Copies of this chain bind each other. A is one copy, B any other.
Amino acid sequence: MSETDAPVTAAVLVIGDEILSGRTKDKNIGYIADYLTAMGIDLREVRIVPDEEDEIVAAVNALRARYTYLFTTGGIGPTHDDITADCVAKAFEVGISHDERAVAMLRTRYENPADLNEARLRMARIPHGADLIENPISKAPGFRIGNVHVMAGVPSIMQAMMDNIGPTLKGGRTMLSVSIDAQGTPEGAYASGLGAIQKAHPGVIIGSYPNFTGKTFNNQIVVRSRDEALLAAAKAAVEALIAELVAARPAPVP
């Protein structure tokens, strides 16, 4: 298997009490999921944890050991509840201190040197051995240490950081996917046929996603594979199944 055939996996760790309390609705998980999928990287797990050192350190260590990449969001601002950098240093058992490169980046944001106060300088605290991830929006950088990428929680800043990280990641073979409209056929009508198709097509992953509009199910069947020929064969089988069910459709089931 060549390097590009090896599965490249990832996890996302969202850090923040405000997500768990419901006060802030996460917008980063879906964005990162789309981004990684487009690159052919399998997002395998997501965790959301509170702003507590033990929880963050344990999650960083569990996830970085298990997946090719870990991406974290949140907890890198200047306030007392921003403890992600310290927790990542602790997880890696390295020191942490003000990084001169990061201080220089922050200086470009504050014309008056007095504005770069102690709290703002906290944002330049970087674990030893980490590379910085530039933040074109508010300058305070993220960082990468080992396979862990530490990003801001503010979506626009996270997205800018992700664009800087993207070119440094090794992509897997892109997962190809096709979506087949079940044409109003309810899941229960095609479930056994779809299960048989899944069994007959081991190189593909077939999912059924019910979409309930309030009165009717507008289901989609998604077929995914890294192999174009396998994908096409499974797609044809699913389309034939749906066509057969539509043709034989009896009076509608309420």
Contact = CB atoms under 8 A, between A and B. Distances in A.
Interface in A51-108: 51, 55, 77-81
Interface stretch (A125-133, A165-173, A201-209, A229-237): A201-209
Copies of this chain present in the complex amount to 2
Nearest to A251: B112
A208 B33 contact: no
Nearest to A24: B209
Interface in A1-57: 14, 17-26, 29-31, 33-37, 42-51, 55
B19 A33 contact: yes
Contacts of A224: 21
Given A17-B205, A23-B209, A115-B253, A45 B49 contact: yes
A198 B205 CA distance: 50
A117 to B, nearest CB: 6
A188 B117 contact: yes
Contacts of A210: 77, 154
Given A18-B209, A23-B222, A120-B191, A44 B50 contact: yes
Given A21-B224, A26-B29, A198 B80 contact: yes
Given A120-B191, A205-B17, A208-B79, A22 B33 contact: yes
Contacts of A22: 30-31, 33-37, 43
A187 B122 CA distance: 11
A118 B192 contact: yes
A29 B44 contact: no
Contacts of A188: 78, 115, 117, 119-120, 123
B43 A21 contact: yes
Contacts of A191: 77-80, 119-120, 122
A157 B26 CA distance: 21
Given A80-B194, A119-B192, 10 more contacts: A22-B31, A22-B34, A29-B48, A45-B48, A46-B46, A111-B254, A112-B250, A112-B253, A115-B188, A118-B192
